Structure 1
Protein backbone atom coordinates (compact mmCIF):
# COMPACT_ATOMS: atom_id res chain seq x y z
CA UNK A 1 0.00 0.00 0.00
CA UNK A 2 1.70 3.25 -1.13
CA UNK A 3 2.01 5.76 1.69
CA UNK A 4 4.13 8.80 2.52
CA UNK A 5 4.77 10.32 5.92
CA UNK A 6 3.85 13.99 5.90
CA UNK A 7 3.86 16.24 8.97
CA UNK A 8 4.19 13.13 11.16
CA UNK A 9 1.06 11.59 9.59
CA UNK A 10 1.02 8.59 7.25
CA UNK A 11 -1.01 9.40 4.12
CA UNK A 12 -2.20 6.94 1.48
CA UNK A 13 -1.85 7.97 -2.18
CA UNK A 14 -2.26 6.65 -5.72
CA UNK A 15 -0.67 7.70 -9.02
CA UNK A 16 -2.11 6.86 -12.43
CA UNK A 17 -1.92 8.05 -16.03
CA UNK A 18 0.75 9.95 -17.94
CA UNK A 19 1.41 13.62 -18.52
CA UNK A 20 1.86 16.66 -16.32
CA UNK A 21 1.03 16.00 -12.66
CA UNK A 22 -2.49 16.79 -11.47
CA UNK A 23 -3.13 16.72 -7.72
CA UNK A 24 -6.76 16.04 -6.78
CA UNK A 25 -7.87 17.11 -3.30
CA UNK A 26 -11.03 15.44 -1.98
CA UNK A 27 -13.80 16.96 0.09
CA UNK A 28 -15.26 16.28 3.52
CA UNK A 29 -15.67 12.59 4.47
CA UNK A 30 -14.40 11.47 1.05
CA UNK A 31 -11.46 9.24 0.17
CA UNK A 32 -9.65 8.28 -3.04
CA UNK A 33 -12.51 6.01 -4.07
CA UNK A 34 -15.00 8.86 -4.09
CA UNK A 35 -13.61 10.47 -7.25
CA UNK A 36 -15.27 7.77 -9.35
CA UNK A 37 -13.73 5.87 -12.23
CA UNK A 38 -15.44 7.80 -15.04
CA UNK A 39 -13.81 11.07 -13.91
CA UNK A 40 -10.37 9.56 -13.18
CA UNK A 41 -10.32 7.54 -16.41
CA UNK A 42 -10.92 10.69 -18.43
CA UNK A 43 -8.23 12.63 -16.58
CA UNK A 44 -5.52 9.97 -16.78
CA UNK A 45 -5.47 10.25 -20.58
CA UNK A 46 -4.05 13.77 -20.18
CA UNK A 47 -2.33 13.85 -16.77
CA UNK A 48 -0.39 11.87 -14.23
CA UNK A 49 -3.18 11.95 -11.66
CA UNK A 50 -2.27 11.95 -7.96
CA UNK A 51 -5.02 11.27 -5.43
CA UNK A 52 -4.57 10.83 -1.70
CA UNK A 53 -6.56 10.38 1.49
CA UNK A 54 -6.59 13.23 3.99
CA UNK A 55 -5.25 12.56 7.47
CA UNK A 56 -7.60 10.30 9.40
CA UNK A 57 -9.54 9.28 6.26
CA UNK A 58 -9.70 6.18 4.07
CA UNK A 59 -6.41 4.29 4.06
CA UNK A 60 -4.41 7.07 5.73
CA UNK A 61 -3.47 6.68 9.39
CA UNK A 62 -6.02 7.50 12.08
CA UNK A 63 -5.77 11.04 13.40
CA UNK A 64 -7.89 12.43 16.23
CA UNK A 65 -6.22 15.76 17.00
CA UNK A 66 -7.99 18.87 15.71
CA UNK A 67 -6.55 20.42 12.54
CA UNK A 68 -7.15 23.38 10.24
CA UNK A 69 -7.66 23.76 6.51
CA UNK A 70 -4.22 25.37 6.38
CA UNK A 71 -2.71 22.25 7.95
CA UNK A 72 -4.45 20.13 5.34
CA UNK A 73 -2.87 22.37 2.68
CA UNK A 74 0.51 21.71 4.28
CA UNK A 75 -0.27 18.00 3.98
CA UNK A 76 -0.98 18.46 0.27
CA UNK A 77 2.33 20.25 -0.22
CA UNK A 78 4.00 17.46 1.74
CA UNK A 79 2.57 14.87 -0.64
CA UNK A 80 4.06 16.77 -3.59
CA UNK A 81 7.40 16.99 -1.75
CA UNK A 82 7.43 13.28 -0.95
CA UNK A 83 6.69 12.41 -4.58
CA UNK A 84 9.39 14.88 -5.75
CA UNK A 85 6.90 16.98 -7.72
CA UNK A 86 7.95 20.62 -7.85
CA UNK A 87 4.85 21.94 -9.58
CA UNK A 88 1.43 20.48 -10.37
CA UNK A 89 -1.99 21.33 -11.63
CA UNK A 90 -4.25 21.34 -8.58
CA UNK A 91 -7.96 20.55 -8.39
CA UNK A 92 -9.87 20.64 -5.11
CA UNK A 93 -13.57 20.02 -4.58
CA UNK A 94 -15.73 21.14 -1.65
CA UNK A 95 -13.51 21.01 1.47
CA UNK A 96 -10.69 20.06 -0.87
CA UNK A 97 -11.30 23.31 -2.74
CA UNK A 98 -10.75 25.17 0.52
CA UNK A 99 -7.49 23.27 0.95
CA UNK A 100 -6.53 24.14 -2.63
CA UNK A 101 -7.17 27.84 -1.96
CA UNK A 102 -4.77 27.77 0.99
CA UNK A 103 -2.21 25.81 -1.03
CA UNK A 104 -2.31 28.35 -3.87
CA UNK A 105 -1.95 31.22 -1.40
CA UNK A 106 0.87 29.74 0.68
CA UNK A 107 2.89 28.09 -2.12
CA UNK A 108 2.00 29.76 -5.43
CA UNK A 109 5.16 28.45 -7.06
CA UNK A 110 3.85 24.89 -6.66
CA UNK A 111 0.59 25.48 -8.58
CA UNK A 112 0.61 25.42 -12.39
CA UNK A 113 -3.16 25.87 -12.61
CA UNK A 114 -5.91 25.83 -10.02
CA UNK A 115 -9.40 24.33 -10.33
CA UNK A 116 -11.88 25.00 -7.53
CA UNK A 117 -15.04 22.93 -7.64
CA UNK A 118 -18.24 23.22 -5.57
CA UNK A 119 -16.38 25.07 -2.83
CA UNK A 120 -16.51 28.00 -0.41
CA UNK A 121 -14.23 30.84 0.67
CA UNK A 122 -15.85 32.05 3.89
CA UNK A 123 -16.57 35.69 4.64
CA UNK A 124 -19.85 37.60 4.86
CA UNK A 125 -21.10 36.76 1.36
CA UNK A 126 -20.43 33.02 1.47
CA UNK A 127 -23.25 30.62 2.33
CA UNK A 128 -23.79 27.01 3.34
CA UNK A 129 -26.89 25.03 2.41
CA UNK A 130 -30.29 25.92 3.82
CA UNK A 131 -30.83 25.40 7.56
CA UNK A 132 -33.50 22.83 6.68
CA UNK A 133 -31.12 20.76 4.56
CA UNK A 134 -28.30 21.00 7.09
CA UNK A 135 -30.62 19.99 9.93
CA UNK A 136 -31.98 17.07 7.93
CA UNK A 137 -28.48 15.87 7.15
CA UNK A 138 -27.23 16.31 10.73
CA UNK A 139 -30.22 14.46 12.18
CA UNK A 140 -29.84 11.61 9.71
CA UNK A 141 -26.13 11.22 10.45
CA UNK A 142 -26.73 11.28 14.21
CA UNK A 143 -29.66 8.85 14.06
CA UNK A 144 -27.60 5.67 13.98
CA UNK A 145 -29.74 4.53 11.02
CA UNK A 146 -27.23 3.92 8.24
CA UNK A 147 -29.82 3.72 5.47
CA UNK A 148 -31.37 7.02 6.53
CA UNK A 149 -27.94 8.70 6.69
CA UNK A 150 -26.91 7.42 3.25
CA UNK A 151 -30.18 8.51 1.67
CA UNK A 152 -29.86 11.99 3.20
CA UNK A 153 -26.27 12.33 1.99
CA UNK A 154 -27.31 11.28 -1.50
CA UNK A 155 -30.27 13.65 -1.62
CA UNK A 156 -28.21 16.75 -0.77
CA UNK A 157 -25.23 15.85 -2.98
CA UNK A 158 -26.84 15.14 -6.37
CA UNK A 159 -29.52 16.66 -8.55
CA UNK A 160 -33.04 15.18 -8.80
CA UNK A 161 -32.41 14.23 -12.44
CA UNK A 162 -29.24 12.31 -11.58
CA UNK A 163 -31.00 10.64 -8.66
CA UNK A 164 -33.69 9.21 -10.93
CA UNK A 165 -31.33 6.45 -12.13
CA UNK A 166 -31.15 3.63 -9.53
CA UNK A 167 -27.70 2.66 -10.81
CA UNK A 168 -26.38 6.03 -9.66
CA UNK A 169 -27.61 5.42 -6.11
CA UNK A 170 -26.03 1.96 -6.08
CA UNK A 171 -22.69 3.46 -7.16
CA UNK A 172 -23.03 6.07 -4.41
CA UNK A 173 -23.67 3.37 -1.80
CA UNK A 174 -20.61 1.41 -2.91
CA UNK A 175 -18.38 4.48 -2.65
CA UNK A 176 -19.91 5.77 0.59
CA UNK A 177 -19.51 2.44 2.37
CA UNK A 178 -15.93 1.83 1.24
CA UNK A 179 -13.82 2.79 4.28
CA UNK A 180 -16.39 5.33 5.52
CA UNK A 181 -15.40 8.16 7.83
CA UNK A 182 -16.90 8.12 11.31
CA UNK A 183 -19.37 10.80 12.37
CA UNK A 184 -16.86 11.84 15.06
CA UNK A 185 -14.09 12.39 12.52
CA UNK A 186 -16.39 14.25 10.14
CA UNK A 187 -16.96 16.56 13.11
CA UNK A 188 -13.23 17.39 13.11
CA UNK A 189 -13.39 18.19 9.39
CA UNK A 190 -16.45 20.40 9.96
CA UNK A 191 -14.55 22.20 12.69
CA UNK A 192 -11.74 22.91 10.21
CA UNK A 193 -14.24 24.11 7.60
CA UNK A 194 -15.86 26.47 10.12
CA UNK A 195 -12.52 28.21 10.55
CA UNK A 196 -11.86 28.60 6.82
CA UNK A 197 -11.88 32.17 5.50
CA UNK A 198 -9.89 33.24 2.44
CA UNK A 199 -12.29 35.78 0.96
CA UNK A 200 -10.07 38.79 1.68
CA UNK A 201 -7.01 36.98 0.29
CA UNK A 202 -8.34 35.43 -2.91
CA UNK A 203 -7.18 38.48 -4.86
CA UNK A 204 -3.62 37.35 -4.11
CA UNK A 205 -3.98 34.09 -6.05
CA UNK A 206 -1.77 34.20 -9.13
CA UNK A 207 -2.41 30.73 -10.58
CA UNK A 208 -4.70 30.59 -13.62
CA UNK A 209 -7.98 29.57 -11.99
CA UNK A 210 -11.05 27.65 -13.13
CA UNK A 211 -14.14 27.67 -10.91
CA UNK A 212 -16.80 24.97 -11.46
CA UNK A 213 -20.17 24.77 -9.70
CA UNK A 214 -23.63 23.27 -10.22
CA UNK A 215 -26.77 25.38 -10.00
CA UNK A 216 -28.55 22.77 -7.82
CA UNK A 217 -25.78 22.41 -5.25
CA UNK A 218 -27.54 22.05 -1.88
CA UNK A 219 -24.36 21.65 0.20
CA UNK A 220 -22.61 24.84 -0.94
CA UNK A 221 -24.95 26.89 -3.14
CA UNK A 222 -23.81 28.12 -6.52
CA UNK A 223 -23.46 31.70 -5.23
CA UNK A 224 -20.25 30.54 -3.54
CA UNK A 225 -18.66 29.60 -6.85
CA UNK A 226 -19.78 32.84 -8.44
CA UNK A 227 -18.28 34.77 -5.52
CA UNK A 228 -14.94 32.98 -5.76
CA UNK A 229 -14.88 33.59 -9.51
CA UNK A 230 -15.30 37.31 -8.92
CA UNK A 231 -12.65 37.52 -6.21
CA UNK A 232 -9.81 35.70 -8.00
CA UNK A 233 -8.21 37.86 -10.70
CA UNK A 234 -8.83 36.51 -14.20
CA UNK A 235 -10.70 33.42 -12.99
CA UNK A 236 -12.87 31.52 -15.45
CA UNK A 237 -16.20 30.40 -13.99
CA UNK A 238 -18.16 27.48 -15.45
CA UNK A 239 -21.66 26.84 -14.13
CA UNK A 240 -23.40 23.52 -14.80
CA UNK A 241 -27.15 24.03 -15.08
CA UNK A 242 -29.27 21.47 -13.24
CA UNK A 243 -26.29 19.80 -11.55
CA UNK A 244 -25.78 19.13 -7.85
CA UNK A 245 -22.79 19.26 -5.52
CA UNK A 246 -20.98 16.25 -6.99
CA UNK A 247 -20.66 17.76 -10.46
CA UNK A 248 -17.69 15.51 -11.30
CA UNK A 249 -20.01 12.49 -10.94
CA UNK A 250 -22.90 13.99 -12.85
CA UNK A 251 -20.73 15.48 -15.62
CA UNK A 252 -17.54 13.40 -15.41
CA UNK A 253 -16.46 13.68 -19.04
CA UNK A 254 -17.28 17.38 -19.31
CA UNK A 255 -15.58 18.17 -15.99
CA UNK A 256 -12.39 16.36 -17.00
CA UNK A 257 -12.42 18.16 -20.36
CA UNK A 258 -12.69 21.54 -18.63
CA UNK A 259 -9.66 20.77 -16.46
CA UNK A 260 -7.66 19.58 -19.47
CA UNK A 261 -8.58 22.68 -21.50
CA UNK A 262 -7.72 24.91 -18.56
CA UNK A 263 -4.28 23.32 -18.22
CA UNK A 264 -3.62 23.54 -21.94
CA UNK A 265 -4.66 27.21 -22.09
CA UNK A 266 -2.21 28.08 -19.34
CA UNK A 267 0.71 26.24 -20.93
CA UNK A 268 3.56 28.49 -22.11
CA UNK A 269 3.84 28.92 -25.86
CA UNK A 270 6.40 26.63 -27.49
Structure 2
Protein backbone atom coordinates (compact mmCIF):
# COMPACT_ATOMS: atom_id res chain seq x y z
CA UNK A 1 0.00 0.00 0.00
CA UNK A 2 1.34 3.40 -0.90
CA UNK A 3 2.11 5.77 1.94
CA UNK A 4 -0.39 8.38 0.76
CA UNK A 5 -3.18 5.78 0.72
CA UNK A 6 -2.20 4.59 4.19
CA UNK A 7 -2.34 8.15 5.49
CA UNK A 8 -5.79 8.75 3.98
CA UNK A 9 -7.10 5.50 5.46
CA UNK A 10 -5.69 6.31 8.90
CA UNK A 11 -7.06 9.86 8.81
CA UNK A 12 -10.53 8.61 7.94
CA UNK A 13 -10.38 5.91 10.60
CA UNK A 14 -9.17 8.37 13.21
CA UNK A 15 -12.15 10.64 12.67
CA UNK A 16 -14.64 7.78 12.82
CA UNK A 17 -13.16 6.22 15.95
CA UNK A 18 -12.95 9.52 17.79
CA UNK A 19 -16.60 10.20 17.04
CA UNK A 20 -17.51 6.68 18.16
CA UNK A 21 -15.64 7.04 21.43
CA UNK A 22 -17.29 10.40 22.03
CA UNK A 23 -20.67 8.75 21.55
CA UNK A 24 -19.75 6.18 24.18
CA UNK A 25 -19.13 8.97 26.66
CA UNK A 26 -22.38 10.65 25.71
CA UNK A 27 -24.23 7.46 26.65
CA UNK A 28 -22.15 6.56 29.71
CA UNK A 29 -21.63 9.99 31.21
CA UNK A 30 -19.47 13.05 30.89
CA UNK A 31 -16.05 13.42 29.32
CA UNK A 32 -14.21 15.17 26.54
CA UNK A 33 -11.49 14.33 24.07
CA UNK A 34 -8.13 16.02 24.31
CA UNK A 35 -6.78 18.05 21.43
CA UNK A 36 -5.26 15.91 18.70
CA UNK A 37 -1.55 16.22 18.02
CA UNK A 38 0.59 14.31 15.57
CA UNK A 39 2.53 11.25 16.71
CA UNK A 40 6.21 10.56 16.27
CA UNK A 41 8.15 8.28 13.97
CA UNK A 42 11.62 6.90 14.41
CA UNK A 43 14.16 6.55 11.67
CA UNK A 44 17.22 4.53 12.57
CA UNK A 45 16.40 4.91 16.26
CA UNK A 46 16.17 8.72 16.15
CA UNK A 47 12.91 10.32 17.28
CA UNK A 48 11.40 12.82 14.87
CA UNK A 49 8.91 15.33 16.29
CA UNK A 50 7.30 15.31 19.74
CA UNK A 51 3.84 15.14 21.18
CA UNK A 52 2.71 18.06 23.25
CA UNK A 53 2.12 17.60 26.95
CA UNK A 54 4.88 15.10 27.71
CA UNK A 55 5.09 14.11 31.36
CA UNK A 56 7.99 14.68 33.70
CA UNK A 57 11.20 12.70 33.05
CA UNK A 58 10.91 9.19 34.42
CA UNK A 59 7.14 9.46 34.90
CA UNK A 60 5.07 6.62 33.49
CA UNK A 61 2.66 8.38 31.12
CA UNK A 62 1.62 6.50 27.99
CA UNK A 63 -0.58 9.39 26.84
CA UNK A 64 2.50 11.51 26.18
CA UNK A 65 4.69 8.68 24.88
CA UNK A 66 5.66 9.19 21.23
CA UNK A 67 4.45 6.80 18.57
CA UNK A 68 7.53 5.14 17.11
CA UNK A 69 8.08 2.81 14.17
CA UNK A 70 10.29 -0.28 14.31
CA UNK A 71 11.62 -1.35 10.91
CA UNK A 72 11.44 -5.13 11.27
CA UNK A 73 12.10 -7.97 8.82
CA UNK A 74 8.31 -8.30 8.45
CA UNK A 75 7.64 -4.64 7.80
CA UNK A 76 7.15 -1.54 9.90
CA UNK A 77 5.52 -1.92 13.31
CA UNK A 78 4.09 1.09 15.12
CA UNK A 79 4.65 1.04 18.87
CA UNK A 80 5.01 3.07 22.05
CA UNK A 81 6.92 2.32 25.22
CA UNK A 82 6.83 3.70 28.73
CA UNK A 83 8.45 2.88 32.07
CA UNK A 84 11.63 1.10 33.11
CA UNK A 85 12.50 -2.38 34.31
CA UNK A 86 11.82 -5.85 32.94
CA UNK A 87 9.94 -5.67 29.63
CA UNK A 88 6.26 -6.49 29.17
CA UNK A 89 4.84 -6.62 25.65
CA UNK A 90 1.08 -6.00 25.40
CA UNK A 91 -0.68 -7.62 22.42
CA UNK A 92 -3.99 -6.01 21.40
CA UNK A 93 -7.14 -7.90 20.47
CA UNK A 94 -9.68 -7.88 17.66
CA UNK A 95 -10.38 -4.54 16.01
CA UNK A 96 -8.26 -2.51 18.40
CA UNK A 97 -5.16 -0.36 18.27
CA UNK A 98 -2.63 0.81 20.83
CA UNK A 99 -5.21 3.38 21.83
CA UNK A 100 -7.55 0.68 23.16
CA UNK A 101 -5.27 0.01 26.16
CA UNK A 102 -6.63 1.96 29.13
CA UNK A 103 -3.92 4.54 29.95
CA UNK A 104 -4.27 3.94 33.68
CA UNK A 105 -3.67 0.20 33.12
CA UNK A 106 -0.53 0.76 31.03
CA UNK A 107 0.84 3.34 33.46
CA UNK A 108 0.22 1.06 36.43
CA UNK A 109 2.25 -1.71 34.78
CA UNK A 110 4.91 0.83 33.80
CA UNK A 111 5.46 1.74 37.45
CA UNK A 112 7.72 -1.35 37.65
CA UNK A 113 8.26 -2.43 34.05
CA UNK A 114 9.22 -1.26 30.59
CA UNK A 115 5.87 -1.61 28.83
CA UNK A 116 5.65 -1.83 25.04
CA UNK A 117 2.32 -1.51 23.22
CA UNK A 118 2.03 -1.89 19.44
CA UNK A 119 -0.38 -2.25 16.55
CA UNK A 120 -1.16 -5.55 14.87
CA UNK A 121 -0.80 -6.04 11.12
CA UNK A 122 -2.50 -3.40 8.97
CA UNK A 123 -3.44 -1.15 11.90
CA UNK A 124 -2.05 2.38 12.27
CA UNK A 125 1.57 2.47 11.13
CA UNK A 126 2.07 -1.30 11.14
CA UNK A 127 2.53 -2.92 7.75
CA UNK A 128 -0.15 -5.25 6.45
CA UNK A 129 0.67 -8.93 5.96
CA UNK A 130 -0.17 -11.10 2.92
CA UNK A 131 -3.69 -12.51 2.74
CA UNK A 132 -5.16 -14.60 4.16
CA UNK A 133 -4.22 -13.18 7.55
CA UNK A 134 -3.52 -15.76 10.25
CA UNK A 135 -2.82 -15.68 13.97
CA UNK A 136 0.56 -17.29 13.31
CA UNK A 137 1.49 -14.60 10.79
CA UNK A 138 0.67 -11.92 13.35
CA UNK A 139 2.74 -13.84 15.90
CA UNK A 140 5.68 -13.87 13.48
CA UNK A 141 5.39 -10.11 13.03
CA UNK A 142 5.33 -9.75 16.82
CA UNK A 143 8.49 -11.86 16.96
CA UNK A 144 10.09 -9.55 14.40
CA UNK A 145 9.24 -6.57 16.63
CA UNK A 146 10.85 -8.27 19.63
CA UNK A 147 13.99 -8.83 17.59
CA UNK A 148 13.99 -5.28 16.24
CA UNK A 149 13.71 -3.79 19.73
CA UNK A 150 16.25 -6.29 21.11
CA UNK A 151 13.93 -7.30 23.91
CA UNK A 152 15.31 -10.14 26.01
CA UNK A 153 12.57 -12.69 26.70
CA UNK A 154 9.86 -10.17 27.59
CA UNK A 155 6.75 -11.14 29.48
CA UNK A 156 3.90 -11.15 26.96
CA UNK A 157 0.34 -10.19 27.88
CA UNK A 158 -2.28 -10.80 25.23
CA UNK A 159 -5.90 -9.66 25.40
CA UNK A 160 -8.59 -11.57 23.48
CA UNK A 161 -7.21 -12.15 19.94
CA UNK A 162 -3.94 -10.85 21.36
CA UNK A 163 -3.91 -13.88 23.66
CA UNK A 164 -4.12 -16.14 20.62
CA UNK A 165 -1.19 -14.28 19.06
CA UNK A 166 0.74 -14.66 22.32
CA UNK A 167 0.16 -18.42 22.33
CA UNK A 168 1.31 -18.76 18.73
CA UNK A 169 4.35 -16.62 19.52
CA UNK A 170 5.35 -18.93 22.39
CA UNK A 171 4.91 -22.00 20.17
CA UNK A 172 6.73 -20.66 17.12
CA UNK A 173 9.39 -18.56 18.88
CA UNK A 174 9.82 -20.08 22.35
CA UNK A 175 13.21 -18.49 22.96
CA UNK A 176 11.71 -15.01 22.77
CA UNK A 177 9.08 -15.32 25.48
CA UNK A 178 9.59 -15.08 29.23
CA UNK A 179 6.20 -15.53 30.88
CA UNK A 180 2.74 -15.46 29.32
CA UNK A 181 -0.39 -13.73 30.59
CA UNK A 182 -3.42 -14.79 28.55
CA UNK A 183 -6.51 -12.68 29.19
CA UNK A 184 -10.06 -13.29 27.95
CA UNK A 185 -8.85 -15.57 25.16
CA UNK A 186 -9.33 -19.03 23.68
CA UNK A 187 -7.32 -22.12 22.89
CA UNK A 188 -6.62 -23.02 19.27
CA UNK A 189 -7.18 -26.74 19.73
CA UNK A 190 -10.60 -26.80 18.10
CA UNK A 191 -12.30 -27.56 21.43
CA UNK A 192 -13.25 -24.03 22.49
CA UNK A 193 -16.88 -22.98 22.65
CA UNK A 194 -17.76 -20.47 19.91
CA UNK A 195 -18.24 -16.78 20.52
CA UNK A 196 -22.01 -16.31 21.13
CA UNK A 197 -23.47 -14.80 17.92
CA UNK A 198 -25.31 -11.99 19.72
CA UNK A 199 -22.13 -10.93 21.52
CA UNK A 200 -20.13 -11.06 18.28
CA UNK A 201 -22.72 -8.87 16.58
CA UNK A 202 -22.66 -6.40 19.47
CA UNK A 203 -18.88 -6.19 19.30
CA UNK A 204 -19.18 -5.05 15.69
CA UNK A 205 -22.12 -2.74 16.30
CA UNK A 206 -21.86 0.79 14.85
CA UNK A 207 -23.35 1.99 18.16
CA UNK A 208 -20.43 2.43 20.59
CA UNK A 209 -22.54 1.87 23.70
CA UNK A 210 -23.63 -1.52 22.34
CA UNK A 211 -20.01 -2.52 21.74
CA UNK A 212 -19.11 -1.38 25.25
CA UNK A 213 -21.95 -3.49 26.69
CA UNK A 214 -20.16 -6.72 25.77
CA UNK A 215 -16.93 -5.59 27.40
CA UNK A 216 -18.41 -4.71 30.81
CA UNK A 217 -21.35 -6.23 32.73
CA UNK A 218 -24.51 -4.17 32.94
CA UNK A 219 -23.92 -3.21 36.58
CA UNK A 220 -20.41 -1.88 35.86
CA UNK A 221 -21.29 1.41 34.16
CA UNK A 222 -18.72 3.31 36.23
CA UNK A 223 -15.96 1.02 34.96
CA UNK A 224 -17.23 1.36 31.39
CA UNK A 225 -17.33 5.14 31.72
CA UNK A 226 -13.80 5.22 33.15
CA UNK A 227 -12.50 3.06 30.30
CA UNK A 228 -14.16 5.14 27.59
CA UNK A 229 -12.93 8.36 29.17
CA UNK A 230 -9.41 6.97 29.41
CA UNK A 231 -8.99 5.91 25.81
CA UNK A 232 -10.47 9.20 24.61
CA UNK A 233 -7.46 10.96 26.08
CA UNK A 234 -5.14 9.51 23.43
CA UNK A 235 -4.28 12.07 20.75
CA UNK A 236 -5.71 11.01 17.36
CA UNK A 237 -7.62 8.01 18.76
CA UNK A 238 -7.94 5.33 16.08
CA UNK A 239 -8.82 1.67 15.59
CA UNK A 240 -8.61 -1.01 12.92
CA UNK A 241 -10.40 -0.47 9.61
CA UNK A 242 -13.31 -2.69 8.54
CA UNK A 243 -11.02 -4.39 6.00
CA UNK A 244 -8.55 -5.32 8.74
CA UNK A 245 -11.34 -6.43 11.08
CA UNK A 246 -12.71 -8.75 8.40
CA UNK A 247 -9.26 -10.28 7.95
CA UNK A 248 -8.90 -10.66 11.72
CA UNK A 249 -12.30 -12.36 11.91
CA UNK A 250 -11.09 -15.02 9.49
CA UNK A 251 -7.88 -15.48 11.46
CA UNK A 252 -9.73 -15.90 14.76
CA UNK A 253 -12.17 -18.39 13.24
CA UNK A 254 -9.33 -20.48 11.84
CA UNK A 255 -7.55 -20.44 15.20
CA UNK A 256 -10.60 -21.47 17.21
CA UNK A 257 -11.44 -24.22 14.70
CA UNK A 258 -8.03 -25.78 15.35
CA UNK A 259 -6.96 -25.14 11.75
CA UNK A 260 -3.58 -23.63 12.71
CA UNK A 261 -0.75 -25.98 13.72
CA UNK A 262 0.43 -23.55 16.41
CA UNK A 263 -2.99 -23.65 18.05
CA UNK A 264 -2.90 -27.43 18.29
CA UNK A 265 0.63 -27.34 19.73
CA UNK A 266 0.08 -25.05 22.74
CA UNK A 267 0.78 -28.00 25.02
CA UNK A 268 4.42 -27.64 24.00
CA UNK A 269 4.75 -24.23 25.66
CA UNK A 270 7.10 -24.58 28.64
CA UNK A 271 7.04 -21.04 30.00
CA UNK A 272 4.83 -20.36 33.04
CA UNK A 273 1.41 -19.03 32.06
CA UNK A 274 -1.33 -17.09 33.83
CA UNK A 275 -4.81 -17.42 32.32
CA UNK A 276 -7.28 -14.79 33.50
CA UNK A 277 -10.79 -13.62 32.68
CA UNK A 278 -13.99 -12.20 34.11
CA UNK A 279 -16.68 -14.64 35.19
CA UNK A 280 -19.26 -12.73 33.11
CA UNK A 281 -17.32 -12.52 29.85
CA UNK A 282 -20.02 -12.31 27.17
CA UNK A 283 -17.56 -13.04 24.35
CA UNK A 284 -15.56 -15.84 25.93
CA UNK A 285 -17.53 -18.25 28.14
CA UNK A 286 -15.73 -19.23 31.33
CA UNK A 287 -15.64 -22.83 30.14
CA UNK A 288 -13.13 -21.69 27.51
CA UNK A 289 -10.77 -20.44 30.22
CA UNK A 290 -10.85 -23.91 31.78
CA UNK A 291 -10.31 -25.55 28.38
CA UNK A 292 -7.37 -23.26 27.68
CA UNK A 293 -5.80 -23.83 31.09
CA UNK A 294 -6.06 -27.61 30.68
CA UNK A 295 -4.48 -27.34 27.21
CA UNK A 296 -1.32 -25.84 28.69
CA UNK A 297 1.47 -27.42 30.70
CA UNK A 298 2.25 -24.78 33.31
CA UNK A 299 -0.83 -22.61 33.62
CA UNK A 300 -2.80 -21.18 36.51
CA UNK A 301 -6.29 -19.72 36.22
CA UNK A 302 -7.61 -16.53 37.83
CA UNK A 303 -11.27 -15.53 37.42
CA UNK A 304 -12.60 -12.13 38.49
CA UNK A 305 -16.24 -12.04 39.68
CA UNK A 306 -18.81 -9.65 38.22
CA UNK A 307 -16.38 -8.73 35.42
CA UNK A 308 -16.41 -9.28 31.69
CA UNK A 309 -14.14 -9.25 28.66
CA UNK A 310 -12.49 -6.04 29.84
CA UNK A 311 -11.91 -7.31 33.39
CA UNK A 312 -8.24 -6.30 33.23
CA UNK A 313 -9.29 -2.64 33.18
CA UNK A 314 -12.27 -2.94 35.52
CA UNK A 315 -10.24 -4.84 38.14
CA UNK A 316 -6.84 -3.31 37.43
CA UNK A 317 -6.31 -2.58 41.13
CA UNK A 318 -6.17 -6.35 41.75
CA UNK A 319 -4.99 -7.60 38.37
CA UNK A 320 -1.93 -5.39 37.89
CA UNK A 321 -0.32 -6.47 41.20
CA UNK A 322 -1.08 -10.09 40.24
CA UNK A 323 0.74 -9.59 36.95
CA UNK A 324 3.64 -7.91 38.77
CA UNK A 325 3.99 -10.89 41.09
CA UNK A 326 3.69 -13.39 38.25
CA UNK A 327 6.28 -11.88 35.93
CA UNK A 328 8.81 -10.90 38.62
| Same fold per superposition (TM over 0.5) | yes
Q: 1:217 to 1:168 in 2, by over 3 A?
A: same
- Superposed CA offset, 1:83-141 (max 9, x none): 11231111111000000000111111211111100001134431233223334545x3x
Q: Does 1:110 align with 2:169?
A: no
Within 5 Å, which residues of 2 pair with 1:58-207? 58-61=124-127, 65-138=131-204, 140=205, 146=206, 148=207, 150-163=208-221, 167-168=225-226, 170-171=228-229, 174=232, 178-196=237-255, 197=258, 200-207=264-271
Question: Greater Rg, structure 1 or structure 2?
Answer: 2
**Structure 1: where are the runs of 5+ without partners?**
141-145, 265-270
Residue pair 1:163, 1:169 contacting (<8 A) in 2 also: no
Deviates more, 1:126-135 or 1:176-185: 176-185
Match of 1:268 in 2: none
Equivalent-residue separation in structure 1 for 2:151 and 2:90 (angstroms)? 14
Describe the SS at the equivalent of 1:161: coil
1:51 aligns with 2:117: yes
Query: Unaligned 5+ residue runs, structure 2?
Result: 1-40, 42-67
Which 10-residue stretch deviates more, 70-79 or 104-113? 104-113
- Equivalent residue of 1:210, what SS? strand
From 31, 35, 38, give the equivalent of 2:104.
Answer: 38
Deviations 1:147-176 (A, max 9, x none): x2x122111111112225673374277379
Aligned position for 1:237? 301
- Partner of 1:23: helix, strand, or coil? strand
Question: What is the number of residues matched between the two proteins?
Answer: 256
| Distance in 2 (alpha carbons) for counterparts of 1:44 and 1:228 | 28
Contact 2:74/2:141 (CA < 8 Å) preserved in 1? no
Change (3 A) 1:111 1:137: closer
User: CA 1:64 to 1:103, structure 2 compared with 1: closer, same or farther past 3 Å?
Assistant: closer
- CA drift of 1:45 comes to 1.3
The answer to whether the 8 Å contact 1:14/1:51 transfers is yes
